[in-house]
Structure 1
Amino acid sequence: MGQPGDLSTGAERKLGEKVAREMYRDPDYIDDPVLVEYVQDIWQKLLAGARARGELTSEIDERFAWQVLLGKDREINAFAVPGGYLGLQLGLIAITTTADELASVLAHELSHVTQRHISRMMEQQNKQTPLMIAGMILGALAASRSPDAAGALLTGSQALAAQQQLNFSRDMEREADRVGLGVATQAGYSPKGFVNMFEKLQQSSRLNDFGAFPYLRTHPLTTERIAEMQSRQELAGAAPPVPTLEHALMAARSRVISNPGVDAQRSFLADADSAGLASQPRMRQSAVLYAATYAAFRLHDRAAVARLLPRLHASVAGDAAGERQARLLEAEIALATGDNARVLKLVDPKSDHRPDLLFGAQAQVRSGQAKEASERLQTWVSLHPRDSTAWEDLSAAYQAQGEQLRAVRADAEAQAAHLDYTAALDRLKAAQDLARKGAARSDYIEASIIDTRAREMQSLVREQALER
């Protein structure tokens, strides 16, 4: 399996960008620097594992985006999008116990992309348009959570075609399990993470999923997949996953973000004040204290933050990764409360770690060190041109220095990073107007870059219009 089908890599990337553009616009989309860094660390290891196994060909490695987009919904879900984009809901991170479990989900979805399942779908349903295929993919995802959704696909005059599509999807899921297991293992993660994750998915769906009508499903029954993974890991002699303090804190952060209601946030604080917390294992205590501190911050309860933060630091003492996450949380809180000096003591703006860079740059701009911030951010975006948040921070840094032309161009690049080429072109045209009015008299190079990028954006906008 793994034949490319009729859809070229370029066409698949464009199809993926259509879907990703809407994902960026979705109110649930979130660029949380701390969680993004943690997920990206796992994701990059899996990509390296796929390359080592030969699953990731040089063509799609170069042409596809390979980006994971986070959603703050508490739904337990992850899905692959054409062109190397993945969607991951925080609700899924929140239920995981180890990085191995999260890696199993990402490896599974990665394998959907490397095995060119979208292209193979197109080959089987060659009378369907690409956008209809995208709709079927989203329908398949819904069906995996509710058999009723899959049953709905079988109604009407297209029942036979839908049944064939469901059968093909089951094969794709089995293949993604098998290939994903190899990729995760190659990346250093325990294959037992797959079994543990399937068991959690089965448990989470047991109230509305009674295992009926397996022939109507897009995904194989979870019990079937558990048995398959168990047999494979027994053959491999796999060691069990090892929980880490850092993952416990990231799962706690995901729970807080994905449950935004005031009552839910207060319940996190109540957990920290529970009399039985002291008798819990250290990892559990740290996760509860992290969630409570973060919830107190989101509730603007400064007194609770001041009370909980020392307890959190004490609970993670001696664990380097845990200490760093507690320090980043304190820096985030200090940044929100305007204590910029404290932020710069807690993070290193020159660090190669994204949260340190972004928190530090914002504190530098507010502290009159915009030049230092812009220099570091410019280096970062040259290496990570699709980092919209970094471009936005760079725009603010240029604005603080009175470099209006560069600020507008950075804002345009932020829009382009989210695939909103029309908005990017509008900003670049505004920059060209500034240049004509004399703003570029001392920055001819920047004006030239703006003209070049404006032509590129015009071409992309025309392509989008033709696709519509």
Structure 2
Amino acid sequence: MPSKVIRRCWPLLVVAPLWLAPLAWSQSEPPPARGLPALGDGAEMSLSEERRLGDQIARTLYRNPDYLDDPVLHAYLQAIWQPLVQAARRRGDLPAELAERFAWEILLGRDRSVNAFALPGGYLGVYLGLIAVVSTPDELASVLAHELSHVSQRHIARLITRQNQQAPWVIGAMILGALAANAAKNVDIASAAMAGGQALAIQSQLNFSRDMEREADRIGFGILTEAGFDGMGFVTMFDKLQAASRLNDDGAFPYLRSHPLTTERMADMSARVPELGTGQRPAQAGPVTPYHHAMMAARARVLSETGADRLRAQAATLRQSQGPQQDATTLGQRYAATLAAARLRDAALLSEGLRQLLAAPPPDPVARQALDWLHLEALLLLPADALSPAMRDDFIRLASAAIASDQRPGLLLGAQAALRLGPDAQRQATQRLQTWTALHPRDALAWQTLAGLHQAQQQPVRAARAEAEARLAHLDAPGALDRLRAAQQLARQQPQVDHIELSILDARVRQTEALVREQARETR
């Protein structure tokens, strides 16, 4: 690989293990009898080493412009993810030590391709394209359960241990090829980047083995159904992938090039479903309703769009959509069109979309809450002077409810609204966010939002400290240290020095300096 290419792409080398665990759907075999040792047993990489490696990868991904922390979609994913993690613990598939020491965090990527991947240390990546394409939450849950099983069984640690015997630059070439192909949706780019006998020789080692896939299927299916999801989600997801594999792969399904589907694998999953028995699947499988899922799939489609023309086409469908709202599909279509109008700042189309959505609200409370969040989000995207009197009334009502919310999307939307509402609302939102960040110190977006509130209230020291905490939440110790030192300097320049705040800052500076040294050692 030319040296200038290495220098230009060097930051991407840190995420080499990202592609060790793509959404892998290779041929499966008959499941082994229960009680046999898991393939993950005896992995040479320790839990601490794997978590540190995962943190290094996550630190790089947080800085990627395609990383997305959308509170609404994050809450939706957590409604699926947390039941799966809890089910894995109940079944004994996720040991207590692993559950406590790994991150178990989902990172959302702003990409229209259909992909999900497991990372070392309990991190998972999910692209917007995957959320947009699945028809039911059970299908999405089947993907997450499969990837969860790869992590819980230490498959990634085993692969990394094996690959440590390879030259790092060779592995880097392979990874750069995968990243380049995914970004450009061009298989030829990958072929060029991976040229060379050594890179091609290790390609097979970057994929899960057939035994690992079999184990991830078996355990993932058990986790899925234990969590209350319909086991048919595995089967119907396979149907989607099989249909896609029959078409020319244009890059929308990245993993299909290296993980072809087979009828045997689909048959194996189909055979598992009757084993559940007719009385073991709930009538409404899983914790996410069809209405809520339709809205979130629509949201993923819109947020993955980067061109104004496609957003305009989406929003324009509101002009033809005049009938009563009767089903989840129609709800999703109108949600997407209304969000597109909001992103375009088109007040007229936005008003029409909200009118259609509110004329026949969804029947379940979770979906109605998501509709309220969309309503407030849309009003926030419009300039304050563009709101009609009725819109202003709605804004105040929705913002007040959001500030008092105990749910992350509402709380963060309410904090943004408080910046418009004035000092009283800002003080209330600040108190709420301070409580939230004390309970959720890894919530970078909450810290950053809190910094904005402090800045609006002429509290620069607290704002700088909150910015530092946001950087720490994204594992950026050097960036956090810069902001903490800036906060120290600001604190000493205040007319009246707050000695308590200054002592807190001094302690955080010492802690963060230790983290900076530790991260420096890890990257040597």
Please confirm whether the aligned pair reaches a TM-score higher than 0.5, indicating the same fold: yes
Alpha-carbon distance in 1 for matches of 2:178, 2:276:
31
The answer to whether the Cα contact below 8 Å between 2:173 and 2:194 also exists between their aligned partners in 1 is: no
Name which of 337, 349, 355 aligns with 2:403. 349
Alpha-carbon distance in 1 for matches of 2:506, 2:458:
21
**Structure-1 residue corresponding to 2:261:** 221
Deviation at 1:466, TM superposition (A): 2.0
Name which of 352, 359, 381 aligns with 2:413. 359
Q: Does 1:262 align with 2:308?
A: yes
Spell out the pairing of 1:222-301 with structure 2 (5 A cutoff): 222-237=262-277, 239=281, 244-274=290-320, 278=323, 282-301=327-346
Q: Which runs of 5+ in 1 are unaligned?
A: 211-215
Q: Which runs of 5+ in 2 are unaligned?
A: 1-38, 251-255
**Structure-2 residue corresponding to 1:213:** none
Shift in alpha-carbon separation, 1:424–1:78, aligned structure 2, 3 A: same
Q: Does 1:424 align with 2:480?
A: yes
**Deviations 1:141-180, CA, capped at 9 Å, x for gaps:** 99999998699979614655544x2675333223222211
**Deviations 1:415-439, CA, capped at 9 Å, x for gaps:** 1111111111100111121233346
Spell out the pairing of 1:131-142 with structure 2 (5 A cutoff): none
**Structure-2 residue corresponding to 1:453:** 508
Q: Does 1:394 align with 2:450?
A: yes
Deviation at 1:105, TM superposition (A): 1.1
Q: Mean Cα displacement is larger for which, 86-95 or 133-142? A: 133-142
Shift in alpha-carbon separation, 1:333–1:162, aligned structure 2, 3 A: closer
Name which of 22, 29, 33 aligns with 2:60. 22
Deviation at 1:188, TM superposition (A): 0.6
The answer to whether the Cα contact below 8 Å between 1:331 and 1:359 also exists between their aligned partners in 2 is: yes
Alpha-carbon distance in 2 for matches of 1:103, 1:421:
34
Q: Mean Cα displacement is larger for which, 18-27 or 310-319? A: 310-319
Deviation at 1:224, TM superposition (A): 3.5
Deviation at 1:113, TM superposition (A): 1.0
Spell out the pairing of 1:155-234 with structure 2 (5 A cutoff): 156-157=197-198, 161-163=202-204, 165=205, 168-208=208-248, 219=259, 221-234=261-274
SS in 2 for 1:69: strand
Shift in alpha-carbon separation, 1:107–1:226, aligned structure 2, 3 A: same
The answer to whether the Cα contact below 8 Å between 1:80 and 1:112 also exists between their aligned partners in 2 is: yes
Shift in alpha-carbon separation, 1:270–1:395, aligned structure 2, 3 A: closer
Q: Does 1:5 align with 2:43?
A: yes
Give percent identity, aligned residues only: 51
**Structure-2 residue corresponding to 1:380:** 436
Shift in alpha-carbon separation, 1:74–1:161, aligned structure 2, 3 A: closer
Q: Does 1:108 align with 2:146?
A: yes
The answer to whether the Cα contact below 8 Å between 2:170 and 2:199 also exists between their aligned partners in 1 is: no
Shift in alpha-carbon separation, 1:254–1:168, aligned structure 2, 3 A: closer
Deviation at 1:132, TM superposition (A): 7.2
Q: Does 1:78 align with 2:116?
A: yes
Shift in alpha-carbon separation, 1:309–1:249, aligned structure 2, 3 A: same
Shift in alpha-carbon separation, 1:296–1:83, aligned structure 2, 3 A: same
SS in 1 for 2:263: helix
Spell out the pairing of 1:30-179 with structure 2 (5 A cutoff): 30-128=68-166, 156-157=197-198, 161-163=202-204, 165=205, 168-179=208-219
Give 1:388's aligned amino acid.
A
The answer to whether the Cα contact below 8 Å between 2:338 and 2:350 also exists between their aligned partners in 1 is: yes
**Structure-1 residue corresponding to 2:470:** 414
Q: Mean Cα displacement is larger for which, 413-422 or 170-179? A: 170-179
Alpha-carbon distance in 1 for matches of 2:395, 2:172:
44
The answer to whether the Cα contact below 8 Å between 2:118 and 2:147 also exists between their aligned partners in 1 is: yes
The answer to whether the Cα contact below 8 Å between 2:44 and 2:158 also exists between their aligned partners in 1 is: yes
Q: What's the TM-score, normalizing by structure 1?
A: 0.89
SS in 1 for 2:209: helix
Alpha-carbon distance in 2 for matches of 1:301, 1:97:
29
Shift in alpha-carbon separation, 1:122–1:416, aligned structure 2, 3 A: same
**Structure-2 residue corresponding to 1:467:** 522
The answer to whether the Cα contact below 8 Å between 1:404 and 1:439 also exists between their aligned partners in 2 is: no
Shift in alpha-carbon separation, 1:132–1:249, aligned structure 2, 3 A: farther
Q: How many residues align?
A: 460
Give 1:343's aligned amino acid.
F
Give 2:457's aligned amino acid.
Q
**Deviations 1:382-435, CA, capped at 9 Å, x for gaps:** 111111111011112222232222111101001111111111110011112123
Alpha-carbon distance in 2 for matches of 1:104, 1:133:
30
SS in 2 for 1:68: strand
Alpha-carbon distance in 2 for matches of 1:345, 1:132:
58
Give 1:40's aligned amino acid.
Q
The answer to whether the Cα contact below 8 Å between 1:69 and 1:86 also exists between their aligned partners in 2 is: yes
Alpha-carbon distance in 2 for matches of 1:127, 1:8:
17
Alpha-carbon distance in 2 for matches of 1:173, 1:236:
21
Alpha-carbon distance in 2 for matches of 1:263, 1:217:
30
SS in 2 for 1:87: strand
Alpha-carbon distance in 2 for matches of 1:131, 1:439:
55
SS in 2 for 1:56: coil
Q: What's the TM-score, normalizing by structure 2?
A: 0.80
Shift in alpha-carbon separation, 1:8–1:132, aligned structure 2, 3 A: farther
The answer to whether the Cα contact below 8 Å between 2:174 and 2:203 also exists between their aligned partners in 1 is: no
Q: What is the RMSD computed on CA atoms of the aligned residues?
A: 3.1
The answer to whether the Cα contact below 8 Å between 1:150 and 1:218 also exists between their aligned partners in 2 is: no
Deviation at 1:462, TM superposition (A): 1.5
The answer to whether the Cα contact below 8 Å between 1:154 and 1:162 also exists between their aligned partners in 2 is: no
The answer to whether the Cα contact below 8 Å between 1:286 and 1:315 also exists between their aligned partners in 2 is: no
SS in 1 for 2:402: coil
Alpha-carbon distance in 2 for matches of 1:118, 1:131:
19
Alpha-carbon distance in 2 for matches of 1:228, 1:445:
63
Give 1:124's aligned amino acid.
R
Alpha-carbon distance in 1 for matches of 2:404, 2:491:
31
